[in-house]
Amino acid sequence: MAAAAQARWRVLFSGQVQHVGFRYTAYYLARPLYLTGWVRNLPDGRVEMEAQGGVSQLRKLLIQLKSQPHIHIEHAEIEEIPQVAWERGFRVRGE
């Protein structure tokens, strides 16, 4: 049996994504999916997230975030970046 595809995505979200609980929603959704990484607000009103794990779990996280009634994502720019082997857990960054 082949191992599930793993990846690390950097995602920039724009829309109504700050002051709506986006970061903590991402945190609570990422944990049961066994994703690692972080999420933070950017000064320009976007939210940046790096998430790592199975590709199907990464897709599921994006779908779940998009379906939240209090979050209105207008655009999500996704870039695959190198994985971080030592990383454990998913966290909210305060920057």
47-59 pLDDT, tens digit each: 999 999 999 999 9
> For residues 19 and 93, what is the distance between their CA atoms, to the nearest angstrom?
15
Q: For residue 17, is it within any domain? A: yes
What range defines the domain where residue 20 resides? 6-84
CA atoms within 13 A on the CB side of 91: 6
Over residues 40-45, the mean pLDDT reads: 96
Q: For residue 59, is it within any domain? A: yes
Count structural domains, the chain. 1
Helix, strand, coil percent content, the chain, rounded in steps of 5: 25, 40, 35
CA quadruple 64, 59, 42, 88: dihedral sign: positive
Q: For residue 79, is it within any domain? A: yes
What CATH code is carried by the domain that includes residue 51? 3.30.70.100
Q: For residue 91, is it within any domain? A: no
- Residue carrying the six token digits 């794990």: 53
Q: Please give the model's pTM, rounded to 2 decimal places.
A: 0.92
Residue 74: burial class (beta carbons within 10 Å; 0-12, 13-18, 19+): exposed
Q: For residue 76, is it within any domain? A: yes
Q: Which residues are catalytic?
A: 23, 41
